[in-house]
Chain A
Amino acid sequence: MTTQTRKSIFNRPEKAYVQPYLGGAILGIVLFLAFLLTGNGLGSSGATSRLDAALVDAIAPAHVDNTPYLLKMAGGDKNPLDDWIVPVFFGALFGGFTSGAFNGRLKITTTKGPNISNHTRWLMAFLGGVIFLYGARMARGCTSGQALSGGATLAAGSWVIMFAIFGGAYAVAYFVRKLWL
C-alpha cells in the first residue's frame, strides 16, 4: 500500500509550470493576505539564522552570550524558534513538496547548466548559499523579506536592496557564464 502511494507520487507525468504572470498574481494575493491577516509579509532567511541560533544555543549556550547577533535571538530565556518566520519556513518546504508531488516533479536530480559536472554544480550551489545568506542577513532580509514584502509596502530601503540584488547578479553573470550557458 505504502509503496503504491509512493510510486504514484514519484512517477506522475511531469506537468508544465504555470504561466509566470499567473504564478506572480497568485503569489501577490498570498502576500497581500499575509499582510492583511498578520501585518507581516513573507520571508525565509530569518528562519535560517534562527535555526542556527537554536543549534548554537543547544550546543554552546555560553557562546550565545558572547555574540551580540545571537544574543538578540537566543539570549536569556528567549527561544529563537518562537517567531512567525519559523512556521513560514517549514510551511514553504512542505508547500514546495506538495506542489512537486501534484505536478510530477518529485525526483532526485541536479539542475545545472549543460557544460558543468554535477560536482561543480554542487560545490557552487553550496558556495552560493553561503554567500547569499551572508548578504541576506546583512541586508536584514532576502528576496522574499525585502524585495517582495518590502517592495509591496513601498519600503524605500527594500527597493534599493532589490536593485542591488539584480545589480550584483548582472555584474557577475558574465564571469560565471560557464556555469549556466
Chain B
Amino acid sequence: MNFPLPSFVAVSAANPWTYVLFAVIGFAFGYTLEMSGFGDSRKLAAQFYFTELTVLKVMFTAITVAMVLLFGAVGLGILDFSQVWVNPTYLASGIVGGLIMGVGFIVGGFCPTTSLASASTGKIDGMLFMLGGFVGAFLFGETEKYFDGWYTNAGYYGRLTLDQVFGIPVGAVVVIVILMALFMFWGSEQLERIFGKRDLSKEPKLRIAGAVALFAGAVAVLALGTPSIEDKYNKATFTRTETIEQVNADPIVNTTIYSADEMLANRLVFTSPAEVFKSRYNQSMNPVYIDVRSEADYNLYHIESAVNIPLERLTEVIPVLLSEPPANSVFILMSNDETAAIDAWKILVGSSVQNAYILEGGVNNWIAFFGESDKALQPAPNAGDDQLGYVFPAALGSRYESCDPDPIEYEKLEFEARIKLQLKRDKSGGGCG
C-alpha cells in the first residue's frame, strides 16, 4: 500500500469520510494537548521562566518521535515524501511572524491550539485568547495588502528541507536533531532542578529507555537511507478507465492499473502534436512544455513558450515542479525524437511529478506536422536517433511560423486524447493555510 492515501489528502464532499478522518486527527490532537497540561496557561508560561519546561519537552518529543517514524516510513518505501506537505520557506515573514507569535505567547499564555484545549475545558482566559485570535487573524487579513509583496516574496525558498540546506543525507539530519533534542531535555531538567526546585530522582527511569529507543530509531533511519528515483519509478502506478458504450444498457467501465513501463509500452503517455497544440487552448489544464534538448538545438528551433531544461539538469528543477505550478499543470516533455524525453519522463515519474507526458515523435514530428509548408526548413537526410531531422537557415528559436501554429488555421484537428488530468492536491490548501 502506498501512503499517504490518495483519497484522504484533502477534505472533499465526494468522500465524506475525509471530514471524519481529519476530525478524528483533530480530536486526538486536542486530547493529547489537554492531558499534557496545555489547558493551563501557567504551565505554558512557566517555560519562559525556567521553572517548568513541559512545553519544550512535549514539543520536542513529539517532533522527534514523528520525525523518526516519518523518515523511517519514507526509507522503507511505505510513505512517499514528495506527497507529504512540507511548509514552504518564507524567511522574512517567518522570522517576523515568529517573533510576534512569541510575544503573543508570553502575553496571552497560550498558542492557538492550546487555547482550544483550554477554552473547551472551561477556562475563561482560554476562551478570551481564542476570541482575540479571531480578531488577530481578521486584522492580518485586513492589513496584508499593505505588505503583500514582502509577504509573498521576501526570503522565499519554496520547499526546502534541512538536509538540502546543509547538503547532508536526511538520516544524518535526523540523528543530529535527536542528539540536539536529547541534550535539550537534559538541559531543561537541570534548569527545572535549579529554578523550579524539582527533585530529579523522582522522574521516571523509563525516560532513559525512551531516549535510547529514539536514538536507535534515528540510526536506523540513517542506515535505511531514502529510496532512489529508480525504486520509486518501479513502484509508480497509473489508472486508466475505458468506457464502452452499450446499446440499451449502462456503459461498461473498465479500469486498468498500469505500471510506468507498461504506460510506455502501450504508448499511453505519448501525446500527439495536435493534442499538445490544442492543450494550450484547453481551459481545464495548464500545459508546461519542457524541452530537454541541448541549448544549441533549442536555440535553432523550439515550440513557442517551451522552457529549455537540458536532460542532465532536470533533477535540479524537480522541487519547483513539485511545489510551484498550479494543480492542473500538465508537463509535456520533448526531445528531437523520443529517447531523451523518455529518460526525462522516467525521472519525473520517479520523483512523483504528476501529469507528465511525452510529445509523440518529438520536435521532428512537430515540424513534420505543422511545418510542412515552411520552405525554409529542409529535411536533413543523415540525422541519427534523437537528432534534429531538419536543417535550419538561422537559429530563430521560436520565431518560425510552425513554432506557434495559427489557432484559426488549425481549429479543427483530429486526435486521440491521451492526457488524463490527474488533479493533485492544491498545494495552497496544505499546511496551516
Contact = CB atoms under 8 A, between A and B. Distances in A.
Interface string B49-92: 10000100111111111110110010000110001111111110
A90 B24 CA distance: 10
B49 A96 contact: no
B95 A164 contact: yes
Interface stretch (B33-41, B264-272, B283-291, B354-362): B33-41
Contacts of B163: 154
Contact of B9 (A18, A28, A39, A180): A39
Contacts of A140: 87-88, 90, 93-94, 97, 431-433
A150 B108 CA distance: 23
Contact of B433 (A46, A144, A159): A46
Contacts, number: 582
A38 B24 CA distance: 12
Contacts of A141: 87, 431-433
Q: Name the residue among B69, B83, B97, B185 with the largest chain A CB count within 10 angstroms.
A: B97
Given A33-B25, A84-B10, A156-B160, A27 B36 contact: yes
A77 B3 CA distance: 31
Interface in B400-433: 425, 428-433
Given A40-B430, A96-B117, A154-B170, A168 B91 contact: no
Nearest to A171: B102
B385 to A, nearest CB: 40
A132 B36 contact: no
Contacts of B45: 113, 179-180
B49 A181 contact: yes
Interface string A17-32: 1111101111111111
Contacts of A158: 87, 89, 94
A52 B138 CA distance: 6
A176 B106 contact: yes
A151 to B, nearest CB: 4
**Chain A's interface: helix, strand, loop or mixed, by majority?**
helix
Given A97-B121, A112-B125, A135 B101 contact: yes
Q: Name the residue among A24, A34, A70, A109 with the largest chain B CB count within 10 angstroms.
A: A24
A17 B34 CA distance: 8
Contacts of B89: 155-158, 160
A179 B11 contact: no
Contacts of B104: 128-135
Q: Name the residue among B35, B140, B164, B170 with the largest chain A CB count within 10 angstroms.
A: B35
B210 A21 contact: yes
B126 to A, nearest CB: 7
Nearest to B48: A173
A89 to B, nearest CB: 6
A98 interface: yes
A96 B79 contact: no
B121 A106 contact: yes
Contact of A129 (B25, B108, B425, B433): B108
A45 B140 CA distance: 12
Contact of B35 (A99, A107, A127): A99
Nearest to A48: B137
B110 interface: yes
B30 A94 contact: yes
B107 A128 contact: yes
Contacts of A32: 65-66, 69-70, 73
A96 B66 contact: no
B173 A154 contact: yes
Contacts of B87: 140-141, 145-146, 149-150, 153, 155, 157-158
Contact of A125 (B100, B110, B432): B110
B112 A49 contact: no
B18 interface: yes
Contacts of A28: 61-66, 69
Contact of B116 (A30, A44, A127, A131): A44
B41 A139 contact: no
Given A96-B118, A130-B135, A133-B132, A25 B210 contact: yes
17 contacts: A21-B57, A28-B69, A42-B113, A92-B30, A95-B31, A96-B116, A111-B39, A129-B104, A129-B110, A132-B133, A133-B135, A135-B96, A138-B100, A148-B62, A157-B90, A168-B103, A169-B106
